[in-house]
Structure 1
Amino acid sequence: MHPAFSVVFFTTATGAGYGLLALLGVLGGFQIIPPDFWLGLIGMGLALGLIAAGLLSSTGHLGRPERAWRAFSQWRSSWLSREGVASVLTFIPAGLFGIGWVFFGKTDGWVGIAGLLAACGAAVTVCTTGMIYASLKPIAQWHSRFTLPGYLVFSAMTGSLLLNALLQGFALGSKILLVASVLLTLLGWGWKLATWRYNDRLEIPTTANTATGLAGGTVRSLEWPHTEENYLLKEMGFRIARKHSARLRQITQLLTFALPGLLLAVTVALPRPFAAALSLLAAIVQFAGVLVERWLFFAEAKHTVTLYYGR
């Protein structure tokens, strides 16, 4: 599949934003973190800003962005539409939670309830995003048991590193959150390795024979339908060299998992100014790594429509 940057940035930014929003909603709703004005303003601003930026960037891949609103009408059958509805609905409790935290200086009572609802909405939205890809049967690399949990793990992982950086900056960091961030990073690493292993061993059952219903012999095309690249080949027949794929996998592991995990491990033994700086660096490096990982997520996927073109 063609890895358009608008969609790559969308899945990365919204995943991190919803992960941070969910953690803020839960920890704030249960009064585990204090209702500090600047923490609420920066934390909620960052979470909602990432979500809004991701949603806006996703329209860049549409042929007619002005008609994006029509996607909301197909929520009964389309995961894309359900994602749009869930993302909009999540802004309601998230906005109330942010207003109560920033302007009223409280995270209990109705504000806490709004925070917990925002956390639930964030989790549901991430699930709908994952199901957009997991529900696509023509793309075997996505239509597997690894896709949806992977979206949830990556959202929690990136969100936890952002929250850790925020709390470290406000001298509110805890070793529990730090350890949780490291564990989530390791979980994400293991899940990504398992996903790659599954995809590399994947035997796609669809062939030219099964697609045409002709069981005898080997079906092959006598003449290709196009002599030049067309829209389908550009969008669904994108190809990446094996050596480039291997190198990008190494970069993904370094930036998304290894380096952030190492920085967080070092943070435990450092005083606040250095711990806050390394925590912020870990979050930034991981965000860049997830951009590479998302690019690979699209580039390595193969749509069965390419059978028509002999690929």
Structure 2
Amino acid sequence: MHPAPSVIVFTVLSGAGFGYLAFLGLGLSTGTGAIAFWQFALGFGMAVAGLVSSTFHLGNPQRALLAFTQWRTSWLSREAWASCSALLVMAGFAVAAIFFGRILNVVGVLGASLCLATVVATSMIYAQMATVPRWNSPLTPGYFIACALTAGAILSAQNHLAVVCLIGLALIQTVCWQRGDRRFTERGHSIASATGLGSKGRTRLFEAPHTGTNYLLKEFGFHVARRHAAKLRVIGMALLCVLPALILSSASGGMAVALAFVIHLAGAFVSRWLFFAEAEHVVQLYYGHQPQGATG
């Protein structure tokens, strides 16, 4: 899949923002007054920046409001409603903490639940796509939730919990890569199954459907060399989990938290780039491509 920068920024920043807001809603290291102002400014800033960046991938960004109309069938629409609801509830929670010095626990728990529901809805946009075997797995929501919770734990200065989350994220990320590499083979997708001609004998492409590029090839025909992907996986894992865990295990204080989060965020961008770049859409089969693990 084409790793569009706007979608990568959207999923990484919104996930980190809602993850941090969830921790603030649960009262973990939530301050009051000026401290709370900067805490919520960071959480809301990342969440809103991520949501706004998602509109740049739309063909007609001015129609973004139409996403709210299909909540019965669309995970994108459900994400829109969940995100707005989460931001509104957390805004009320933030106002009470900043201006009145009060932590409204019930409101905070509701807001935290909506924040996590938003992350789940975002992940389901991809997990429900049967045409992309690598994404079509319960591991995808697990990966998105783990990233959000890890970012929230780091920013909340819950160092011990953050290290546990980082270890858990490392395990989930590793399984996602290993399982994802086999998904196409396990599904049995091939040019024979795509055309329904498998019973007639060996199926192969006689001529390409188009003489030039088109939208499908641009969006779904992206390929990343395996050797490059392997290098990026090592870099991504080091930045996403290993280095932040080492920093938080050996140091404490604001500088350690800030450094760990910046490194973790850089790793999240690498990880999310691979999430899209390595995803193989079955439409590639109609253009003669043989995705990793495809047979026939």
For 1:70, the equivalent position in structure 2 comes to 66
- 2:239 is equivalent to residue 237 of structure 1: no
- CA RMSD after TM alignment: 1.2
8 Å CA contact retained: 1:35, 1:106: no
Counterpart in the other structure of 2:144: 151
Deviation, 1:280, is: 0.8
* Partner SS for 1:122: helix
> Could you tell me which amino acid in structure 2 is paired with residue 148 of structure 1?
P
1:26 maps to 2:26:
yes
Deviations 1:83-107 (Å, cap 9, x if unpaired)?
0111111122111001101011111
Q: The residue matched to 1:201 in structure 2 has which SS? A: helix
- Cα deviation for residue 33 of structure 1 reads 4.1
* Match runs of 1:192-231 below 5 Å: 192-202=173-183, 203=185, 204-214=187-197, 215-231=199-215
| C-alpha displacement of 1:34 | 6.0
Cα distance in 2 for residues equivalent to 1:69 and 1:152: 26
Structure 2 CA distance for aligned equivalents of residues 192 and 288 of structure 1 = 15
**Residue 289 of structure 1: how far off its partner (Å):** 0.7
The AA in structure 1 aligned to 2:193 is T
Matched, 1:308 2:286: yes
- Given the alignment, which residue of 103, 116, 120 partners 1:123? 116
Matched AA of 2:107 = A
* Alpha-carbon separation, structure 2, partners of 1:20 and 1:37: 18
Matched, 1:277 2:255: yes
Return the letter of the residue paired with 2:128: S
- Following superposition, the deviation at residue 263 of structure 1 comes to 0.5
Q: Hey, what's the Cα distance between the residues in 2 that align with 1:293 and 1:148?
A: 15
TM normalised by structure 2 equals 0.94
Check if 1:263 corresponds to 2:259. no
Deviation digits for residues 190-226 of structure 1, max 9, x if unmatched?
1101111111233141212112222221222211111
**Counterpart of 2:12?**
12
Tell me: CA distance 1:33–1:162, structure 2 relative to 1, closer, same or farther (3 Å). closer
Q: What residue identity is the alignment partner of 2:17?
A: G
Structure 1 unaligned regions, length at least 5: 165-176, 269-274
User: What number of residue pairs does the alignment pair up?
Assistant: 286
1:45-78 deviation digits (Å, cap 9, x = unpaired): 1111111000000011111000011011000000
TM-score (normalised: structure 1): 0.89
Deviation at 1:158, TM superposition (A): 1.1
CA distance in 2, matches of 1:144, 1:224: 31
Deviations 1:103-122, CA, capped at 9 Å, x for gaps: 11111xxx322211110100
* Residue identity (%): 40
Work out the CA distance in 2 between the residues paired with 1:200 and 1:69: 36
CA distance in 1, matches of 2:288, 2:248: 48
Counterpart secondary structure, 1:238: coil
1:255-278 alpha-carbon deviations (Å, 9 max, x no partner): 11111011111115xxxxxx3212
Q: Do structure 1's residue 42 and structure 2's residue 38 form an aligned pair?
A: yes
Offset, 1:279: 1.5
> Which amino acid in 2 is paired with 1:307?
L
Structure 2 distance, partners of 1:88, 1:264, is 33
For residues 35 and 200 of structure 2, what CA distance do their matches in structure 1 show? 67
Which amino acid in the other structure matches residue 213 of structure 1? G
Structure 2: 5+ residue stretches without partners:
290-296
What code does the residue aligned with 2:205 have? S
Aligned AA (1:243): R
Render the CA deviation track for 1:268-295: whole Å, top value 9, x for unaligned.
5xxxxxx321221000110011011000
User: Which position in structure 2 is the counterpart of 1:179?
Assistant: 160
**1:298 counterpart residue number:** 276
- Contact kept? 2:29, 2:156, Cα under 8 Å: no
Q: Distance in 2 between matches of 1:15 and 1:34?
A: 19
